[in-house]
Structure 1
Amino acid sequence: MREPTPKLYDFVDPADGECVRRETEEILREFFPDYEGVIFRNAFEDVEKLFFGLYPGYRASNTKYHDFEHTCSVVLATVRLIYGALVDGESFAEEECLKGILAALFHDVGLIQTADDTMGTGAKYTVGHEERSIMFMRSILDGVMSRDDQDDIADCIRCTILAMSPSKVAFASENIRTMGYFLGSADLLAQIADRYYLEKLFLLFEEFQEARIPGYDSAMDLLAKTSTFYQEVVRIRLDKEFLRVDRYMELYFSNRRGVDKDLYSEAIDRNLSYLESILSGDIDDLEGVLSRFRRGSIPTYTI
């Protein structure tokens, strides 16, 4: 009997924050034996509390697409790219890797509302939330890391601004630039490779509506434009603006997991192929499309 083909979620489930934290620290410790991890562990705990409404002065996260699982998935994809690059012979200091991972951890906290902000959801901050994320990061790391270190983390976070070229960011060093490219790539890869990406697009549309993001008239319109978005926006950003650092993902899986494949790329191809099959035929209404999802519709989405 043939062994089942490994899939992305067979190794670490980003819904399990503790599992993501352990994988991150194991990777850092593999390359940096003296790694202590206090800064990352404390920051991880603070961000987890923030998302779940346990951090003083803040409401719980209420953006259903950009939730704590998404943050964990981006942290995981970022550290996997770092691992692959280190295996390939790239030279990064422990502190540089830590900055890249911390940037992934903090990159979306700007979508979380303060306790006295009770209007709508954090989705209203979609445009510009990165600078809010940077402000929160600075408040957490003040007295823990230097202002220059915080500036490096901030520059990495700015690589997740889809409407801005990373060439606009004045990185302090080429290694920090690469960390920013890792994060910017990880943010895209983690989303589109998500095993429930297609279903979650309905939740993303709800966020877009509240944020008044133009370009999508309906959830159906978002679905219909997703493949084009991947080919004409995501791939160009990955290949040209981030210099194909996603190529390091295959080295992570081959060296750490014994799988000679880029499982993110495979997961993305499956998602886009299945989306194409869903949209094919004569179904042109949202309810009909929802009925074709193998896993059913998102319960919290209202047609």
Structure 2
Amino acid sequence: MFDITAVMIQNCIDRLIEGYYHVYGSSHSRNLCSQHIDVLQKVATLTLSTLAFSDAPYHDIEHTILVTLVGQDILRGKQRLEGNVTPEDWLHFIVGLLCHDIGYVKGVCRLDRRRERLFVTGKDCKFIALPIGATDASLAPYHVDRSQQFVDEHLTSHPSVEGDRIKDHIEFTRFPVPAVALYQDTHHYPGLTRAADLIGQLSDPRYLQKLPTLFYEFQEIGMTERLGYRHPSDMRAAYPSFYRNIVRPLIQDALLYLEATQDGRQTIRNLKMNLYRVECDRPLLAA
């Protein structure tokens, strides 16, 4: 039987291996390349096959694939413009993106107790109890810490992997962005990880069609009330302001790198098209 999920996973793995090998295959030792490619393949298989079983309405396997591939294009552009992306930089950046939302998945941390609906928060050995019927989206407030715990539990045994480095990248995907000077950096790799997360989401050609699923995730954790959203259309109407005031300042460095490659330029066109479509709809949304 045709398995679209398996096809998605294999396609992503193939593109990650091709992307790494295209940049480093002829200029670095064969042993180093094979080690890094082995890590990329194993981590992608582990994370994506796990996310395939998530019941989060929006933060699913497709979201992580889109974010990771946009991140790879950011690296390609940075390497083309500056030539300073090391193989280790590349490896840890991609692994961070593959793992950045794994904490959404119930049962992914070793101490999770699914039958009792008790799940670790990722901080201070604390647990959160979820009600019957809660989806993985209910772990959104804890998913960054849980993703970092997943890295500690599953990835740090490999000699090529620096767990703290990956966790630093994941740390910058917290949203809303903490109001601390540390989190304002948009140029270093953690800042570019955040940019890949945002651009991968907002440049998805089907992002506007997926807004209802994101709305229902927000609704599950009480975020819609805090934001004043009553319907998915409210999120759509607020999108231009959200993009210009919050997202755009965080992605400028990444956009410069995306401009340096053909695939990156297509991503930017998709990003602009989603914004244009909402702005064209504004009279209808206001009616």
Q: What range is the shorter-chain TM-score in?
A: 0.7 to 0.9
Q: Is the 8 A contact 1:75 1:105 kept in 2?
A: yes
What are the superposed Cα offsets for residues 94-128 of structure 1, whole Å, 9 maximum, x if unpaired? 11210000000000011111243364011111123
Q: Which residue in the other structure is 1:62 paired with?
A: 55
The correspondence for 1:246, drawn from 239, 250, 255, is: 255
What are the superposed Cα offsets for residues 113-158 of structure 1, whole Å, 9 maximum, x if unpaired? 12433640111111231111111122111311478x1111001011
The correspondence for 2:174, drawn from 153, 161, 175, is: 161
Q: Is the 8 A contact 2:99 2:147 kept in 1?
A: yes
TM-score, length-scaled by structure 2:
0.79
Percentage of matched positions with identical amino acids: 23
Q: Is the 8 A contact 1:159 1:181 kept in 2?
A: yes
Aligned residues between the structures: 248
Single out whichever of 244-253 and 76-85 deviates more from structure 2.
244-253
Q: Which residue in the other structure is 1:41 paired with?
A: 41
TM-score, length-scaled by structure 1:
0.75
Q: Is the 8 A contact 1:97 1:179 kept in 2?
A: no
Q: Which residue in the other structure is 1:100 paired with?
A: 93
Whether 1:204 aligns to 2:204 is no
Q: Which residue in the other structure is 2:120 paired with?
A: none
The correspondence of residues 15-26 of structure 1 with structure 2, limited to 5 A, is: 16-26=8-18
What runs of 5+ residues in structure 2 fail to find an aligned partner? 1-6, 108-113, 118-131
| Post-superposition offset of 1:282 | 7.1
Structure 1 consecutive aligned stretches of length 4 or more whose deviation exceeds 6 Å: none
SS in 1 for 2:56: coil
Whether 1:217 aligns to 2:210 is no
Whether 1:187 aligns to 2:197 is yes
Q: Is the 8 A contact 1:82 1:182 kept in 2?
A: no
SS in 2 for 1:251: coil
Q: CA 1:97–1:120 in 2, change beyond 3 Å: closer, same or farther?
A: same
Whether 1:129 aligns to 2:143 is yes
Larger helix proportion, structure 1 or 2?
2
Single out whichever of 160-169 and 149-158 deviates more from structure 2.
160-169
SS in 2 for 1:142: coil
| Post-superposition offset of 1:50 | 1.0
What runs of 5+ residues in structure 1 fail to find an aligned partner? 1-14, 53-59, 285-303
